[in-house]
């Protein structure tokens, strides 16, 4: 029986992204600055933590995604849900987030606390990312679920942006205690939000036996995701946008404090304005993406984000009659509008990737796609953040200093503008080949319904180009090779 999805369900589903987007927003915006300004770590040491964590993610993310596909056959999966069980088990571990923000510790302490949180993060987000596809097959309902999730996430991003300014009372000086208090507040928010999602979401009934649990099966299961053309293209768009956002967020505070000459409080306020623009942007792109398609929507969002970054350069290089902080206010609104679309569009598209896979494998593998997607994104993101650290170190960045040499300020501008712009241009290039959208998805779901009903004929001539465009595979690979191709072979003879 199909369960009704009403406003309360959208809110409950979106709640867990207070953890998903909130944690990443805090980390991306503040942890690099916290490590180098209050913990005595060099930029290279700080970014090494990111790099080491991503190596662990490459293993843990794939394993968690695979497990969330297969534990439905176990007692835990039957009792708590093969996806939602991970959400429930994470709750008592959430306070570990606050432990990341304790100053005066060793490099190994910061590495260990960051690694532990990264595993916890993956164990929640990867199963959570599958729930929209579990709850409904309707394209527009999934789009609204994605919108609810991203809107909630943007509220968390806004809170992460503005909280340091609130804690300090808007004063220029922030202390290590500011960031610890922020971590403790978010830990409580994470527990409440993930619990709400666990209580008020559900999963589809399993219609096929789960894949096996062996290591070889896991590797084959994960590797097979790359044969789906729509997934490969989706990764290109996703990585292009999110890597740009990660790098820009990691360097924005450095930009305000050391290049513009502002304070942590001013950086926090500007991030808050940017996030408010992102929130409005998500509402616009939730409506727009279902009408013009994900590819064109991403191109529009990336163009706005690039314009915002370039305008930040103008504010620094061109003398203006007003203070840089004031001049940056409209600029961060433009950048925020673009960032909101960049965040929304890939998560909109992700909800339909498992449908493309189902017409090939006959199975529902949302978990493994989420695991591989998270693994690849974090690996590429870590490389980009490591590049930021190398740039800062190579250009003479001084840890715990109140001012930086001109060479370090140049490195900050390179990291803030050049790396994200190149990343987004690559994502835009890939998006030009991405055909998954409302029309192609409707065709896909009709074909899946026909094959589920026992019709083993290949797609009709007018449908076949759409299916092959999504899968990248021929008819002999569809529905696990079960299609009856004999009529086609007879026609060829």
Residue 209 clears pLDDT 60, i.e. is over it: no
pLDDT at 89: 92
- CA distance linking residue 271 with residue 371, whole number of Å: 29
The confidence score (pLDDT) of residue 58 equals 65
Residue that wins the pLDDT comparison between 74 and 346: 346
pLDDT band at 493 (very low <50, low <70, confident <90, very high): very low
Mean pLDDT of 261-266: 85
pLDDT digits (tens, 9 = 90+) for 426-481: 999 999 999 999 999 999 999 999 999 999 999 999 999 999 999 999 999 999 98
Buried b (16+ CB within 10 A) or exposed e, 340-350: bbbbbbbbbbb
Helix then strand count (H, E) for the chain reads 23, 0
Helices 264-292 & 229-254, crossing angle to 10 degrees? 160
Record the pTM.
Answer: 0.76
> Which region among 112-121, 219-228, 314-323, 445-454 has the lowest average model confidence (pLDDT)?
219-228
Q: Dump pLDDT digits (tens) for 4-30.
A: 888 899 999 999 999 988 888 888 778
In tens, the pLDDT along 245-257 reads 888 988 898 899 8
Residue 491: the pLDDT is: 46
DSSP code per residue over 279-346: HHHHHHHHHHHHHH-HHHHHHHHHHHHHHHHHHHHHHHHS--SS-HHHHHHHHHHHHHHHHHHHHHHH
Model pLDDT, residue 2: 62
Query: CA–CA distance from 124 to each of 194, 207, 463, 464 (Å)?
Result: 8, 24, 37, 37
Q: Which two tokens stand for residue 241?
A: 């946008």
Among left, alpha and beta (phi > 0; psi -120 to 50; other), residue 50 is alpha
Residues 102-122: tens digit of each pLDDT? 998 999 999 999 999 988 998
Mean pLDDT of 261-281: 87
Percent above pLDDT 90 for the chain: 47
At 215, is the pLDDT very low, low, confident or very high (cuts 50, 70, 90)? Answer: low
Please give the pLDDT value at position 169: 57
pLDDT higher than 50, residue 188: yes
The sign of the CA dihedral 108, 110, 114, 117 is positive
At residue 25, the pLDDT reads 82
Mean pLDDT of the chain: 86
């Amino acid at each position: 029986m199909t369960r009704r999805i009403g406003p309360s369900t959208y809110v409950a589903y979106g709640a867990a992204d207070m953890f998903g987007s909130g944690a990443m927003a805090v980390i991306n915006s503040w942890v690099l600055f916290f490590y180098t300004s209050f913990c005595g770590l060099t930029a290279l040491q700080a970014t090494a933590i990111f790099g080491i964590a991503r190596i662990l993610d490459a293993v843990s993310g794939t394993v968690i995604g695979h497990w969330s596909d297969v534990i439905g056959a176990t007692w835990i999966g039957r009792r708590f849900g093969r996806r939602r069980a991970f959400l429930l088990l994470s709750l008592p571990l959430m306070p570990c987030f606050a432990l990341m923000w304790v100053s005066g510790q060793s490099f190994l302490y910061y590495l260990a606390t960051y690694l532990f949180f990264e595993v916890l993060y993956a164990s929640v987000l990867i199963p959570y990312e599958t729930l929209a596809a579990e709850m409904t097959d309707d394209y527009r309902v999934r789009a609204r679920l994605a919108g609810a999730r991203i809107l909630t996430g943007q509220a968390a991003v806004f809170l992460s942006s503005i909280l340091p300014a609130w804690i300090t009372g808007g004063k220029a000086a922030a202390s290590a205690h500011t960031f610890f208090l922020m971590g403790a507040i978010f830990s409580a928010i994470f527990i409440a939000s993930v619990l709400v999602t666990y209580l008020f979401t559900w999963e589809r009934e399993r219609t096929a036996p789960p894949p096996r649990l062996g290591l070889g099966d896991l590797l084959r299961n994960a590797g097979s995701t790359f044969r789906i053309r729509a997934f490969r293209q989706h990764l290109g768009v996703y990585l292009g946008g999110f890597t740009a956002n990660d790098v820009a967020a990691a360097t924005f505070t450095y930009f305000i404090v050391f290049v513009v000459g502002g304070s942590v409080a001013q950086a926090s306020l500007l991030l808050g304005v940017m996030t408010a623009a992102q929130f409005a942007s998500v509402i616009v792109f939730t409506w727009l993406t279902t009408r013009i398609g994900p590819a064109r929507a991403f191109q529009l969002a990336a163009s706005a984000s690039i314009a915002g970054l370039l305008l930040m350069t103008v504010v620094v290089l061109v003398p203006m009659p007003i203070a840089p902080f004031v001049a940056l206010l409209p600029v961060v609104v433009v950048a925020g509008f673009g960032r909101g679309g960049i965040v929304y569009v890939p998560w909109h598209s992700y909800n339909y990737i498992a449908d493309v896979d189902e017409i090939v494998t006959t199975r529902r593998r949302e978990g493994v796609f989420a695991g591989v997607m998270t693994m690849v994104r974090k690996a590429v993101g870590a490389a980009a953040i490591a590049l930021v650290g190398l740039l800062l170190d190579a250009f003479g960045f001084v840890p715990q200093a109140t001012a930086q040499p001109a060479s370090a300020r140049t490195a900050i501008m390179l990291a803030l503008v050049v790396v994200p712009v190149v990343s987004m241009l690559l994502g835009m290039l890939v998006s030009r080949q991405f055909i998954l959208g409302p029309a192609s998805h409707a065709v896909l779901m009709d074909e899946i319904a026909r094959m589920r009903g026992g019709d083993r004929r290949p797609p009709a001539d007018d449908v076949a180009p759409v299916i092959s465009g999504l899968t990248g595979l021929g008819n002999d690979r569809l529905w696990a090779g079960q299609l009856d191709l004999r009529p086609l072979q007879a026609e060829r003879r």
